[in-house]
Amino acid sequence: MTESKHFYQTFQPTHYNVYIDINRATKQISGTSTITGDAKEPTISVHEKYMTISSVTADGTDVPFTLDEAAEGLHIDLGKTGETTVAITYTAPLTDSMMGIYPSYYDLNGEKKQIIGTQFETTAARQAFPCVDEPEAKATFDLAIKFDEQPGETILSNMPEVKTENGVHYFDTTKKMSSYLIAFAFGDLQKKVTKTKSGVEVGVFATKAHQANELDFALDIAKRSIEFYEDFYQTPYPLPHSWQLALPDFSAGAMENWGLVTYREAYLLLDPANTALDMKQRVATVIAHELAHQWFGDLVTMKWWDDLWLNESFANMMEYVAIDAIEPDWHIWETFQTSDAPMALQRDATDGVQSVHVQVEDPAEIDALFDSAIVYAKGARMLVMARALVGDDALRKGLKAYFEAHQYNNAKGADLWAALGEASGMDVGSIMNTWLEQPGYPVVTAAVENGQLTLKQTQFFVGEGQDEGRQWKIPLNSNYAAAPAIFEDQTVTLGNYAELRQAAGEPFRVNVGNNSHFIVKYDDALLTDILDHVADLDAISQLQVLQDLRLLADGRQISYATVVPLLARFADNPATVVNAALYRIANNLKKFVTPDSAEEKALQTLFDRLSAQQVARLGWTPQATDTNDDQLTRPYVLNAALYAQNAQAIQDAHALFTANADHLGTLSADVRVLVLANEVKHFGTAELFDHLLAEYRTSTDPSYKADLAAAVTSTTDKALIAKLIEVFEDADTVKPQDLRAWYRGTLANNAAQQAAWDWLRNDWQWLEDTVGGDMEFTTYITVTAGVFHTPERFAEFKAFFEPKINTPGLTREIKMDTKVIGSRVSLIEDEKAAVNAAVAQAIQA
Ligand SMILES: [Zn+2]
């Protein structure tokens, strides 16, 4: 890619005085951005987007300027270089785009209210005030904000407020920081505050539509996370406060603005009395992620967006490191194994996937970088490998040095590797760059050839892939000492297998712990040896056996038909990680059967057999004696029993519904979604549908709302499906931020799929207008590709999306998802008969 010119090369700001006046009634923003900096050229460039510029002065004198819409900025003729103060006066509209400065809507006791908040990452600060909107352009900021203020309203920003004069709120000067991390918000808010051991003020803020105790969990996790990071990083939290703010409308999950982190309500607020453990863990890891960024991302920032992974991969690893330290009983790394690891392994197996480190210039392409499976999950796995290599002492020492060297400044990936290399005495960069710069990952084939135990690495693909002979430096983590620590050649021979096996006394394995980013294909003899001793393996290792078999089957290296007979031997395992891997395979089998066929009936019988014992053991009602595994496993097995049409399970769920019909929100959150969806599917009426929809509109509990959405989207009634599609575009019912879950639920429902797919195609323009500026827009394509598996849908998908392939930001996603569906369709066509025969065989046993 040609290097386009960054505005920072023309003008290097040191300080901003930003004044913004926001009028909610007229939906207008007006302001002046006064920027002092060093002009490197006589014509400088400053970003702005969607603004009307009324004047530009340099050192107090009007100067000529030209607007450049394509570059999202203006060029200002200074006629000189060197230290200059530029003042730009402007107006801009306040729009409902969830980007820049925007309103969030909510109801309080029947009254419609709003909070104004901000979302600037990646390139939307330029919609709020003219600035050099590039991460490298760090400066200090004095923010002054006026708005149509009502009594009792609160305003928050990165720094504490220092004074109010004539209705203008003035905030303390920030530290040197990037524009995309500036934030402010105002409205009628409630709060809970506390202090860390070191004196940092920590607060949680939300609308008054929530119960006060919904803020407690977040406050506790935020406080303890900051205390953990101050110790782990050996670097004090750099600001006086750390505010966490829940916004009713929010496009991403959360945003790490320095000192004022913003969240989707679902990822900050929860009912302490009735929230499922996995949701609590989710909220805790999101908070820990954003707070990890306060140092990694905010104090030290990537120089350019190509190193986005430095921010995100790191925060994604640290969220687990932190939560594991402050809530050790949760075994949170198990969640990493059931969410991040499979997500990364699946996506990274499709040819055409981005590497973790990507060259990028166009703003639309920058947003498309935020591929959660790659920049977050794969990047985190990469750093987990690095952490395992260097150890925690060197990691902490290296980080401390990294923060000292680059604080209030920027860094590149090489700077991190250098710091970790220095601290550990290892060439970390040369190992890690093979993972960072190359897309994809290897499958290591382990085989006994002529009596010799041999390993070979090749790139693993699901679907067609172009083998370019890529090689990785693979931390092998074998249980046999004969295996090298780092496997970097194409093949390696470990020695005489019979002797090695004899000496070790256990089956040969690599990637013990499942922390390196590769999968293993054992030959039949080695795999049989492992399976014969599978009961001796810990839960993660059992998960790994299932995970690798599933991927090998997706990649056509083995057949799903050979995996089916193995499932039963894992079915009674109490560990959640094993159940997660088991049901991931079982659920994949659903795509091989036609609705209402004999094959579907057989598969349902298989699900019944797999789940029966655990359903009997765990039941529908959480017990005080439940372990974490019990709590987390229960939904997997009950869901399986319901798919199996198990009459007892259907009746049990119905009985729970009936007993709680007047207060459905208080149904145990662990099983609530299953109870509600069961009721809609088997006992559904128009009245029930309307009642659940009304509950959705009035409830403020995000996890109850998610359950209600999942329930109503599972209706099989034609008239109700039509009603469902109608509410997609009714923002008073379904907020645009939540629409994707509704779309996914409806599309995955066989009875409603046609309606959902027609809606997407007919109203694509509406969707683009509504959430197109949002970095989650492309995931509507991903969600569609996750469901489709027939040749007919594949043809329709191509017919609709191929003409859009050159849309900036969509190109990679359309190409990848076309491959994803295509490979799935041919897998199913080729193996359908064999897989269904294997299922039939398994239920005979
Ligand atoms: Zn992040």
Tell me, in angstroms, the distance from the centre of ligand 1 to residue 460's CA.
28
pLDDT class for 792, splitting at 50, 70, 90?
very high
Tell me, in angstroms, the distance from the centre of ligand 1 to residue 330's CA.
22
For the chain, the distance separating the N- and C-terminal CA atoms, rounded to the nearest angstrom, is: 58
Strands 189-195 and 154-157: unpaired
Q: Does the structure show a pLDDT above 60 at 532? A: yes
Upstream peptide bond of 122 is cis (omega within 30 degrees of 0): yes
Tell me, in angstroms, the distance from the centre of ligand 1 to residue 132's CA.
22
Q: To the nearest whole percent, how much of the chain has pLDDT over 90?
A: 96
Q: Which residues pair with 116 in a beta bridge?
A: 103, 186
Query: Are the CB atoms for 56 and 32 separated by under 8 Å?
Result: no
Tell me, in angstroms, the distance from the centre of ligand 1 to residue 156's CA.
21
Tell me, in angstroms, the distance from the centre of ligand 1 to residue 253's CA.
9
| Secondary structure tally for the chain: helices H, strands E | 28, 28
pTM of the model: 0.97
Rounded to whole angstroms, the Cα distance separating 793 from 809 reads 23
Q: Would you call 784 helix, strand, or coil by DSSP?
A: helix
Provide the angle, in degrees to the nearest 10, between the axes of the packed helices 379-390 and 308-326: 60
Tell me: is residue 293 an annotated ligand-binding position: yes
Residue labelled with tokens 């007006």: 30
Q: Hey, what CATH class is 189-294 in?
A: mainly alpha
Q: What is the dihedral of CA 272, 278, 279, 280, to 10 degrees?
A: 40
Q: Where are the beta strands (DSSP E) in 514-649?
A: 519-522
Q: Does the structure show a pLDDT above 60 at 839? A: yes
Which of residues 39 and 368 earns the better pLDDT score? 39
DSSP 137: -
Lowest mean pLDDT, pick from 568-572, 628-632, 804-808: 804-808
Tell me, in angstroms, the distance from the centre of ligand 1 to residue 255's CA.
7
- CA distances, 277 to each of 20, 217, 223 (Å): 42, 12, 20
- CA distances, 784 to each of 518, 545, 595, 798 (Å): 27, 29, 19, 12
Tell me, in angstroms, the distance from the centre of ligand 1 to residue 425's CA.
29
Confidence (pLDDT) at 155: 98
Tell me, in angstroms, the distance from the centre of ligand 1 to residue 262's CA.
12
Tell me, in angstroms, the distance from the centre of ligand 1 to residue 270's CA.
21
Which pLDDT tens digit goes with each residue over 157-203?
999 999 999 999 999 999 999 999 999 999 999 999 999 999 999 99
Averaged pLDDT score across all residues of the chain: 96
Rounded to whole angstroms, the Cα distance separating 504 from 494 reads 13
| Catalytic residue, candidates 72, 256, 290, 813 | 290
Closest CA to 224 of 266, 190, 195: 195
Tell me, in angstroms, the distance from the centre of ligand 1 to residue 575's CA.
29
Which pLDDT tens digit goes with each residue over 657-700?
999 999 999 999 999 999 999 999 999 999 999 999 999 999 99
Closest CA to 208 of 738, 718, 700: 700
- Domain spans of the chain, in order of start: 1-187, 189-294, 301-437, 441-502+511-536
Rounded to whole angstroms, the Cα distance separating 292 from 226 reads 8
Which pLDDT tens digit goes with each residue over 43-93?
999 999 999 999 999 999 999 999 999 999 999 999 999 999 999 999 999
Tell me, in angstroms, the distance from the centre of ligand 1 to residue 282's CA.
14
Tell me, in angstroms, the distance from the centre of ligand 1 to residue 195's CA.
24
Rounded to whole angstroms, the Cα distance separating 406 from 135 reads 14
Rounded to whole angstroms, the Cα distance separating 256 from 318 reads 14
Rounded to whole angstroms, the Cα distance separating 258 from 263 reads 13
Confidence (pLDDT) at 227: 98
Q: Does the structure show a pLDDT above 70 at 736? A: yes
Rounded to whole angstroms, the Cα distance separating 21 from 29 reads 6
Confidence (pLDDT) at 1: 34
pLDDT class for 370, splitting at 50, 70, 90?
confident
Asked, colleague to colleague, whether 1-187 and 301-437 share their fold, the answer is no
Q: Where are the beta strands (DSSP E) in 397-451?
A: 409-411, 442-449
Which pLDDT tens digit goes with each residue over 113-141?
999 999 999 999 999 999 999 999 999 99
pLDDT class for 365, splitting at 50, 70, 90?
confident
Tell me, in angstroms, the distance from the centre of ligand 1 to residue 256's CA.
7
Q: Which CATH architecture has domain 441-502+511-536?
A: Sandwich (2.60)
Q: Hey, what CATH class is 301-437 in?
A: mainly alpha
Q: Does the structure show a pLDDT above 90 at 845? A: no
Confidence (pLDDT) at 360: 87
Rounded to whole angstroms, the Cα distance separating 62 from 85 reads 12
Confidence (pLDDT) at 2: 39
Rounded to whole angstroms, the Cα distance separating 31 from 663 reads 49
Confidence (pLDDT) at 4: 65
Query: Are the CB atoms for 142 and 190 separated by under 8 Å?
Result: no
Rounded to whole angstroms, the Cα distance separating 289 from 575 reads 26
Which of residues 3 and 401 earns the better pLDDT score? 401
pLDDT class for 754, splitting at 50, 70, 90?
very high
Residue 574 C-beta-side C-alpha neighbours within 13 Å:
9
pLDDT class for 363, splitting at 50, 70, 90?
confident
Strands 260-264 and 241-247: parallel
Which pLDDT tens digit goes with each residue over 399-415?
999 999 999 999 999 99
Q: What backbone phi and psi angles, to 5 degrees, belong to 689?
A: -55, -50
Confidence (pLDDT) at 362: 80
CATH code for residues 1-187: 2.60.40.1730
Q: Does the structure show a pLDDT above 50 at 3? A: no
User: Active site includes 679?
Assistant: no
